[in-house]
Chains A and B, each alone.
Chain A
Amino acid sequence: MSASSPSSEPILRVEHLTMRFGGLIAVNDLSFDVARGQITALIGPNGAGKTTVFNCITGFYKPTAGRMALFSGGVQTDHAVETVTNSPRSYRRTAKGAVFLLERLADSEIAARAKVARTFQNIRLFTGMTVLENLIVAQHNWLNRASGYSLLGIIGAPSFRKAEAQAVDLAVAWLDRIGLTGRADDPAGALPYGDQRRLEIARAMCTGPVLLCLDEPAAGLNPRESAELNELLLSIRDGNGTSILLIEHDMSVVMEISDHIVVLEYGTKISDGTPDHIRNDPKVIAAYLGVEDEEVGETEAELEK
């Protein structure tokens, strides 16, 4: 799969997503596509509702209204989507893969079945467990099956040992990629901040996702770490073929690696397109200029690049 070829084939189609908290409308009738094999960025001023969109996609919030269809495997016909929507079920397997309606799935089902993984704005590692353990826990579902739901595991069956060795191999492969192999046996909470961010991404990748959702992955990183992050994300896109949806404030990350950008303001989409398009969209400039004075110069400078 070539990264540079623009693909319009969506992996996730969000339609008319609305989320209300009491009287407050956090997300209002939002529709956008996340393209398969690409990096899509969701940007917007603080409080625009980006994290809410994320929480809806990953099932931590139940949206008030709207449809979020995830196509795993390959492109799906509208007919297939309509069939699931009209059925009481939450997913449908087709010849080319499956359609999942994320709004009908609970958080852990979205990760386990629809294969959408995520990271968190405030890093959520298992701090008291080692780096390696974090990556093994991420492979829980298939390992637990391999352990015969613990029955084979408790007697130390060879099949389980083999599966576990395989899981360790995958974990070590990811540790090599994020440069933390030497710290595999250290508690995750003892890592520096930047390493924790990368470890959280590796942990999410160990679940074998088709779509990776990153909530401000560059927050708190220094420029060198940001550059490393860019490389990592590009390698995930190109090497693993995982589509990425990310929320980010750091424009150097967004503009450099995104194939596609969606801009939110007050829960509504104000722009949608390639980085070049966004850079020149007067609505986007106005949104950023209008919100926070100290961000103005910064944002302008970023957009000029």
Chain B
Amino acid sequence: MDYFLQQLINGLTLGSVYGLIAIGYTMVYGIIGMINFAHGDVFMLSVFIALIIFLLISSLVGGLAIAVALILVLIFAMALTALWSWAIERIAYRPLRGSFRLAPLISAIGMSIFLINFVQLVQGPRNKSLPPILDGGFVIPVGDGNITLAYKQILIIVTTAVLLAAFWFVVQKTPLGRAQRACEQDRKMAALLGIDVDRTISLTFVMGAALAAVAGVLFMVQYGVVSFSDGFVPGIKAFTAAVLGGIGSLPGAVIGGLLIGLIEVFWSAYFSIDYKDVAAFSILAITLIFMPSGLLGKPDVEKV
């Protein structure tokens, strides 16, 4: 029982990270129907940005409370990652709007290769590891054992919840969110009605990247180690989450993320840790084959 609960907590923590990245995939897919292949690498970049900012802050102002430091890291990482994502969209995707369908996908793969090698080049190929940032936690006795609810797990789940609520508000209640939904429905019509479509799409990328950066900061706090190649697998898993939840659906992305996190953790805990990625990829394939609209997505009716 305690083992199960412990894994549940671990799964939810991991799932929060996946869910935050998945939103970026699902929003971009929703608005321009494109798989932003470089999104996983944007996430990886954000972990590096967060890591450097964290080191900078701790070396400049030594005695700063960890909470204040993390909030500063979060703000900087979100802003700077968003800037990168904006630039990527502007350079690699916007010129290809309305062009050949494969072109943006190839361009995104190119961008992904570029980001991986750029980070490898400027930061070196070795793993970067930090000393544990936030140690300790609550130990809760359950039955005849204990479960540990680490402070950083609480931080991750709470931050995810708060930021998702804020994000939900933006998408549902602000003119920006309305413009996004209009562009999703019909980009041409939205443009005719005076919506700046390019700007809306850019902002979608920016928002997706900012949430990926939140995931990046949380990833840094949780694992404390990152390398240039760490974007691909979380990226694919987050994409799996987006597909599982129903691509284009925001709550779907979060639910999908949590499910993927739970499945991965439970698979490792009860079956085989070697095949945990195989499990994730299999879920991706099975979902797409048998339930292509996911849990909350709209069914895609073939028009004749």
Task: Report if A and B touch in the complex (beta carbons < 8 A).
Answer: yes
When distances are taken between beta carbons in the complex, the residues of chain B under 8 Å from A60 are: 302, 304
Q: Which of A55-113 contact B (CB under 8 A)?
A: 55, 60-61
Complex interface: chain B residues within 8 A of A51 (CB): 304
A120 close to B (CB within 8 Å) = yes
Query: What secondary structure prevails in chain B residues at the interface with A?
Result: loop
Among residues of A, the one whose C-beta sits closest to the C-beta of B302 is A60
What sequence of 0s and 1s flags, for each residue 35-51 of chain A, a beta carbon within 8 Å of any chain B beta carbon? 00000000000000001
**Which residues of the partner chain A approach B302 to less than 8 Å between Cβ atoms?**
60
B278-304 residues at the A interface, CB under 8 angstroms: 302, 304
Alpha-carbon distance between A146 and B304 when the two chains are bound, in angstroms: 31
Q: Nearest chain B CB to A50's CB is how many angstroms away?
A: 13
Residues of A within 8 A of B304 (CB): 51, 55, 60-61, 120
Which A residue sits closest to B301, measured CB to CB? A21
Closest A residue by C-beta to B304: A60
Q: How many of B's residues come within 8 Å of A, CB to CB?
A: 2
Cα-based distance from A120 to B304 in the complex (angstroms): 8
Q: Which residues of B contact A120 (CB under 8 A)?
A: 304
- For residue B304, give the distance in angstroms from its CB to the closest CB of chain A: 5
Instruction: Give complex CA distance A120, B303 in Å.
Output: 11
Residue of A nearest to B299 (CB): A22
Alpha-carbon distance between A29 and B304 when the two chains are bound, in angstroms:
22
Least CB distance from B300 to A in Å reads: 14
| Closest Cβ–Cβ distance, residue B101 to chain A (whole Å) | 14
With a CB–CB cut-off of 8 A, which chain B residues contact A61?
304
Q: How far does the alpha carbon of A92 sit from the alpha carbon of B302 in the complex, in Å?
A: 30
CB distance from A254 to the nearest CB of B (A): 22
B 250-304 contacts with A by CB, 8 A: 302, 304
Chain B nearest CB from A128 CB (Å) reads 13
Which residues of B have CB within 8 Å of A55?
304
- B98 nearest CB across to chain A (Å): 18
Q: How far is the CA of A60 from the CA of B302 in the complex (A)?
A: 9
**In the complex, what distance in Å separates the CA atom of A86 from the CA atom of B165?**
58
| Cβ of A60 to closest chain B Cβ, rounded Å | 5
Bound: A60/B304 CA distance, A = 7
Cα distance A115–B199 when bound, in Å? 52
Chain B min CB distance to A292 (Å): 23
B117 to chain A, nearest CB (A): 36
Compute how far the CA of A61 lies from the CA of B303 in the bound complex, rounded to whole angstroms: 10
**Distance, CA A120 to CA B302, complexed state (A):** 14
Task: Return the chain B residue nearest A52 by Cβ.
Answer: B304
Q: Given the complex of chains A and B, what is the CA–CA distance between A290 and B237 in angstroms? A: 55
Complexed CA–CA distance, A51 and B304 (Å) = 9
Chain B residues 74 to 115 lying within 8 A of chain A, measured CB to CB, are none
User: How far does the alpha carbon of A55 sit from the alpha carbon of B302 in the complex, in Å?
Assistant: 12
| CB closest chain-B residue, reference A55 | B304
Indicate with 1 or 0, residue by residue over B205-232, a CB within 8 angstroms of chain A CB atoms. 0000000000000000000000000000
Per-residue CB proximity of A109-133 to B under 8 Å, as 1/0?
Answer: 0000000000010000000000000
Q: How far is the CA of A264 from the CA of B303 in the complex (A)?
A: 21
A222 to B38, CA, bound (A): 50
With both chains docked as a complex, state the minimum distance between the C-beta of B298 and any C-beta of chain A, in angstroms: 12
> A60 vs B301: C-alpha distance in the bound complex, in angstroms?
11
Task: Mark out the residues of chain A between 147 and 171 whose CB falls within 8 Å of any chain B CB in the assembled complex.
Answer: none
Quick one: which of B42-73 are within 8 Å of A by CB? none
In the assembled complex, the CB of A107 is this many whole angstroms from the nearest CB of chain B, namely 9
User: How far does the Cβ of A121 sit from chain B's closest Cβ, in whole Å?
Assistant: 9
* Minimum distance in angstroms from B135 CB to a CB of chain A: 54
A55 CA / B304 CA spacing, docked (Å)? 8
Bitwise, B141-153 to A at CB < 8 A (1) or not (0) is 0000000000000
Give chain A's interface residues, CB within 8 Å of chain B.
51, 55, 60-61, 120
Q: Show 6 A/B contacts (Cβ-Cβ < 8 Å), sorted by A.
A: A51-B304, A55-B304, A60-B302, A60-B304, A61-B304, A120-B304
6 A-B pairs with least C-beta separation: A60-B304, A55-B304, A120-B304, A51-B304, A61-B304, A60-B302
